[in-house]
Structure 1
Amino acid sequence: MFKILIVEDDKKMSEIILENIVRWGFEGHRVENFNDTFNDFVKYDPQLVLMDINLPSHDGFYWCGKIREVSKVPIIFISSRNTNMDIIMAVNMGGDDFIQKPFSLDVLMAKVNALLRRTYDYINAFSSVIEHQGVVLNLKDSSVIYNDNKLELTKNEFKILYTLMQDKGEIVSRDEIMRALWEDESFVDDNTLTVNINRLRKKLEDIGLKNYIQTKKGQGYVIL
């Protein structure tokens, strides 16, 4: 689920935006201590930021610059300021879009959805790792890293873990996993899948990941 950080000084406005974000199926978090905006960003680790320009202490341009020092996460500026200079500053500081207040919530969510889709479709196509709950799967060398322990996987073990991590939080059926393992017309039967999953579980346990892959009887497997 995508997480969205709301950096908006108008409490009522930020609450309305948060309600709308949740209604669309996203997670949201409102910054309340604007002196601690950057730490909120680091702790929450969002996939998108909605950033007002007029903020206490430091303005949105300042916080955008701080975020850009460590992250390329998409940032949408939302502001009542509408001069060409404000828009140019927003872009130059690393903003990806600009919405002038007052705005339609439907327009805001259309822009949010479009930016998330563009950003994360691109990133997923070229990313070299998948991370979940501190477990890092390296797509380049089929290895797993957890708590500084590195684990080498076979081709089948890698494909099983990749499939489950791609759909983390969702039950993946045995048939889906077997289709992922079907390559070059080499047949993978039900027993072969069981053997590979058991080996993968044993390897994960050896680096401290007990019960990382859970069985849902009669349904399949899931990583939570």
Structure 2
Amino acid sequence: MTAILIVEDDAKLAELLEGYLEKYGYQAEVADNFNDVMAIFERIEPQLVLLDVNLPKFDGYYWCRQIRKTSVCPILFISARSEQMDQVMALEHGADDYITKPFNYDVVMAKIRSQLRRAYGEYAQAGGERIHEQSGLTLYPERMEATYEGREVSLSKKEAVLLEALMKQYPKVVNRDSLLEKLWDDESFVDENTLNVNVTRVRKKLKDLGIENGIETVRGEGYRLPTDWKGAR
């Protein structure tokens, strides 16, 4: 049975979500200790997490980052915060979707089913672990790690998706619209500035590996890995 972890400090709402999920055949678990959400996550090993932003002690962004260190399971934020920046922060910290309160339970269920299909079902990547290599750079997108000449860096989910798109198309230019589609898929909110932010972050991660100028900007088109990859160090 598919396990879903609910991290929500509104006890009434958490109870309603739990009942709704169980009605549709899911195993719903409600977090009862907001000081150590990771302990609950590791015990339950859920296939999906519903995560509030406003939580005691540490907020949802913090717990999202902690989960992303060990898992790529879908994370859906559920929050009363409706500002665009809150949605941007959630996505950049590794979330897969952002649902604002009050919400329609049928919409929540549809989004849960969509994320589960994408992660484990008919839309999931078939076969073993994906590995991409280019001139000494190795990317493990599912681990959210990259290595180069003995060095290793951790990546956020969005950084891994961005770098994978560039490596798969090397040496071609990947246009901005294509990258935005890969990064945010069917999300309702898209801000091109967030693409710039993620490109900057990936450049920094590549620099940490010893690769200078690791992503080339092609004005008016998009981005690509430089053709003189080995020399760009």
TM-score class normalised by the smaller sequence: 0.5 to 0.7
Q: Is the 8 A contact 2:117 2:124 kept in 1?
A: no
SS of equivalent to 2:126: helix
Q: Which residue of 1 aligns with 2:114?
A: 114
Q: Which residue of 1 aligns with 2:62?
A: 62
Give the drift of 1:127.
3.8
CA distance in 1, matches of 2:40, 2:124: 23
SS of equivalent to 1:99: strand
Query: Could you tell me which amino acid in structure 2 is paired with residue 118 of structure 1?
Result: R
CA distance in 1, matches of 2:66, 2:33: 16
Query: Could you tell me which amino acid in structure 1 is paired with residue 55 of structure 2?
Result: L
SS of equivalent to 1:119: helix
Give the drift of 1:123.
4.1
SS of equivalent to 2:16: helix
Q: Which residue of 2 aligns with 1:165?
A: none
Query: Could you tell me which amino acid in structure 1 is paired with residue 127 of structure 2?
Result: F
Query: Could you tell me which amino acid in structure 2 is paired with residue 91 of structure 1?
Result: L
Query: Could you tell me which amino acid in structure 2 is paired with residue 48 of structure 1?
Result: L
Q: Is the 8 A contact 2:77 2:90 kept in 1?
A: yes
Q: Which residue of 2 aligns with 1:103?
A: 103
CA distance in 2, matches of 1:36, 1:66: 11
Query: What's the Cα RMSD here?
Result: 1.1
Q: Which residue of 2 aligns with 1:14?
A: 14
Q: Is the 8 A contact 2:48 2:75 kept in 1?
A: yes
TM-score (norm 2): 0.53
Give the drift of 1:126.
2.4
Q: Which residue of 2 aligns with 1:146?
A: none
Mapping for residues 73-92 of structure 1, pairs under 5 Å = 73-92=73-92
Q: Which residue of 2 aligns with 1:125?
A: 126
Q: How many residues align?
A: 128
Structure 1: give runs of 5+ residues left out of the alignment.
129-224
Give the drift of 1:9.
0.7
Give the drift of 1:124.
6.2
SS of equivalent to 2:62: helix
Give the drift of 1:63.
0.1
Question: Sequence identity, in percent?
Answer: 48
CA distance in 2, matches of 1:116, 1:18: 17
SS of equivalent to 1:77: strand
Give the drift of 1:119.
1.0
CA distance in 2, matches of 1:126, 1:30: 32
Q: Which residue of 1 aligns with 2:142?
A: none
SS of equivalent to 1:76: strand
Moved over 2 A (4+): 121-124
SS of equivalent to 2:35: helix
CA distance in 2, matches of 1:116, 1:127: 18
Cα deviation, 1:27-54, whole Å, max 9, x if unaligned, reads 0100011002011001100000000000
Indicate the structure (1 or 2) with the bigger Cα radius of gyration. Answer: 1
